[in-house]
């Protein structure tokens, strides 16, 4: 009888071990853990336990896990991917409800730095004297190199009415501290005017949910005023909502592909246009601060021969991010795909090269001041010249490199 009980007990134990082993194997398979990387996981847990047991002060495991996740994301070397600890994740969610504000600037992240790409008229930044091209060195006394670039933007945003201090480096000047107060920023994204009885000028400051409708309305006004062609100014445009860009492209780009979004596994999402043909000659202005959606639009117009591009090589931000909520009110903002132009160009880290290269003026024309001065803006002057030649010809000219003759 005792032998029977021992056999039954041994069988139960053996069965439990087999079950546990199979469960562990299944979990490893589901997590993609192989014998090769199981050793790396082991290293992680050994380090975790050793720090927990031997570090000179008590440390919470969640703090260590948060740090490990943040370290993983930082190791990617991608300024647009970031681990959002609970406080930052909560702030990001609060911003979507309108409870948070900003200082009225658009920022770009490149080569480990944070740069002001454009300044919204009459916002806190402009009133304080910030300019496009300013480099942000510190936020509230914290050097930007101590945190990820994307986290810098989250720290600059905050509750409306609260202060934020920026240390700014400007080329040719001493570093200066700016004290600003956050405000609720509302901005019209499209402005335009007739340059003469045939040529028009349209500037897009950034792409929002309303930009497509704003552009359609403005284009209709200019067409009724006699527009035969227009200059599309995307200088200092940092991008924004992709749908706004696509809605505009569908009004300008001939039928076919506007842009493609391709993920790591090769899956593709293609944005297309059904426009029968380009209606107007267009010259697009870009500079080093034209980024993301503005690069998509200028790239689509360039690839489909619907516009000439004048200015300087653009910023080179062609990646797509997604926000993933995690278990402890934290989150992960991760780059998951890249944008491609109709011809298959990936603009990430490369940018759009202009058809005609012209250096930027000292100061790019403000968004809402439409008293344009081509004499002090060589890019605008070249755009007017090229557009006039097309309007005079009565057609869109993109054969035999006609515009290269005197560029």
Residues designated as active site: 292, 317, 321
Specify whether the backbone of 317 is left (phi greater than 0), alpha (psi in -120 to 50) or beta: beta
Tokens of 66: 């948060």
Tokens of 14: 């053996």
**Distance between CA 53 and CA 47 in Å, rounded?**
10
Label the pairing between strands 229-233 and 319-325.
Answer: unpaired
* Inter-residue contact 365 to 191 (CB < 8 Å): no
What tokens were used for 32?
């993609």
Beta pairing class for 142-143 and 158-159: unpaired
Place of tokens 């200019």: 222
> Shortest CA distance to 103 belongs to which of 184, 32, 24, 171?
184
What is the radius of gyration, based on Cα positions, of the chain? 27
Backbone angles phi, psi at 125, to 5 degrees: -65, -45
């Amino acid at each position: 009888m005792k032998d029977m009980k021992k056999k039954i007990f041994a069988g139960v134990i053996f069965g439990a071990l087999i079950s546990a082993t199979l469960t562990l194997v299944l979990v490893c398979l589901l997590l993609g853990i192989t014998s090769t990387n199981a050793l790396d996981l082991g290293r992680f847990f050994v380090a975790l336990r050793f720090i927990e047991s031997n570090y000179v002060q008590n440390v919470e495991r969640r703090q260590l896990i948060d740090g490990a996740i943040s370290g993983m994301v930082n190791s990617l070397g991608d300024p647009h991917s970031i681990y959002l600890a609970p406080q930052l994740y909560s702030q990001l969610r609060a911003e979507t409800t309108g409870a948070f504000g900003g200082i009225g600037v658009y920022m770009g992240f490149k080569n480990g730095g944070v740069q002001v790409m454009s300044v919204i008229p009459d916002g806190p930044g402009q009133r304080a004297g910030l300019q496009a091209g300013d480099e942000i060195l510190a936020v509230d006394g914290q050097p930007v190199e101590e945190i990820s670039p994307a986290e810098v933007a989250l720290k600059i945003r905050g509750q409306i009415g609260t202060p934020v201090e920026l240390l700014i480096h400007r080329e040719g000047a001493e570093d200066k501290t700016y004290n600003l107060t956050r405000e609720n920023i509302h901005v019209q994204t499209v402005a335009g005017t007739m340059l003469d009885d045939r040529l028009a000028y349209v500037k897009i400051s950034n792409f929002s949910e309303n930009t497509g409708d704003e552009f359609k309305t403005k284009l209709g006004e200019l067409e009724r005023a006699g527009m035969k062609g227009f200059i599309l100014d995307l200088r200092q445009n940092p991008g924004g909502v992709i749908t706004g860009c696509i809605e505009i492209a569908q009004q300008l780009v001939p039928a076919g592909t506007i842009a493609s979004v391709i993920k790591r596994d090769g899956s593709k999402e293609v944005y297309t246009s059904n426009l029968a043909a380009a209606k107007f000659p267009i010259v697009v202005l870009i500079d080093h601060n034209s980024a993301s959606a503005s690069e998509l639009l200028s790239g689509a117009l360039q690839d489909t021969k619907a516009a000439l591009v004048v200015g300087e090589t653009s910023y080179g931000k062609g990646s797509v991010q997604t926000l993933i909520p995690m278990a402890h009110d934290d989150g992960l903002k991760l780059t998951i795909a890249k944008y491609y132009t109709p011809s298959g160009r990936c603009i990430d880290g490369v940018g759009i090269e202009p058809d005609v290269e012209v250096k930027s003026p000292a100061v790019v024309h403000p968004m809402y001041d439409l008293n344009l001065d081509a004499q002090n803006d060589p890019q605008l002057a070249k755009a007017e010249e090229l557009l006039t030649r097309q309007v005079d010809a009565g057609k869109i000219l993109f054969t035999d490199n006609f515009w290269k003759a005197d560029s």
